[in-house]
Chain A
Amino acid sequence: SQTIHQWPATLVQPVGSPLSLECTVEGTSNPNLYWYRQAAGRGLQLLFYSVGIGQISSEVPQNLSASRPQDRQFILSSKKLLLSDSGFYLCAWSRILGWVEQFFGPGTRLTVL
């Protein structure tokens, strides 16, 4: 069966510090991978998605970046965090070839102080 891991679960970082959130998927190959951010009381905002190694599509201009160094690994990064980067970050995967259901990881709650 497929499993998706995210870490850390909770993170408190000062403004201006770097960020690295990691997501890995087990039990499937060639997944579509997604990073979402959820502000309090809001829906999911798509940040990045990837259909393959090294292929990243950015949805929202911001100071975040994403990388996919391996087939089942997706990393969200920032060189300098802003207060507005606080939120709940979710990684998700879906099968390719038109499969639309997404499976979500447990999320990382980021607080930037």
Chain B
Amino acid sequence: EDKVVQSPLSLVVHEGDTVTLNCSYEVTNFRSLLWYKQEKKAPTFLFMLTSSGIEKKSGRLSSILDKKELFSILNITATQTGDSAVYLCAGHNTNAGKSTFGDGTTLTVKP
């Protein structure tokens, strides 16, 4: 059974801090690792990672995948209150055609 574990489960920081969110996975026929941000309702897509060691970057957010150690990290630099959300990662099983999600990391950024 595919499994994705995220840590920490929750995190409280102050504006301007840098945070690192972790995601480890055990996914059969692994194709991709995806990160989503969920604020109030629907998760929105952040990154899709398929290759080890290649950093994906979008503004203050960046992510990298290690396919040997089976984990990914999501970094957020100079955090803002608008970064407060649940961050979900998911491992995609290409044969089954579906993704398994972790329980998420709840990030709270205080002013």
Contact = CB atoms under 8 A, between A and B. Distances in A.
B98 interface: yes
A17 to B, nearest CB: 24
B18 interface: no
Given A43-B88, A43-B102, A43-B104, A106 B48 contact: no
Interface residues of A, number: 22
Interface in B2-31: 4, 6, 9, 31
Contacts of B99: 46, 100, 102
A100 B48 CA distance: 8
Contacts, number: 54
Contacts of A100: 31-32, 34, 48, 92, 94, 99
A43 B99 CA distance: 12
A12 B92 CA distance: 33
Contacts of B32: 100
B30 to A, nearest CB: 11
Interface residues of B, number: 25
Interface string A74-107: 0000000000000000100000001011111111
A41 B97 contact: no
Interface stretch (B37-45, B62-70, B75-83): B37-45
B101 interface: yes
Contacts of A103: 45
B108 interface: no
Given A101-B34, A104-B43, A43 B97 contact: no
B42 A46 contact: no
A106 B41 contact: yes
B100 interface: yes
Given A42-B103, A43-B88, A43-B104, A34 B45 contact: no
Interface of A: 32, 34, 36, 41-46, 49, 51, 59, 90, 98, 100-107
Interface of B: 4, 6, 9, 31-32, 34, 41-45, 48, 88, 90, 92, 94, 97-104, 106
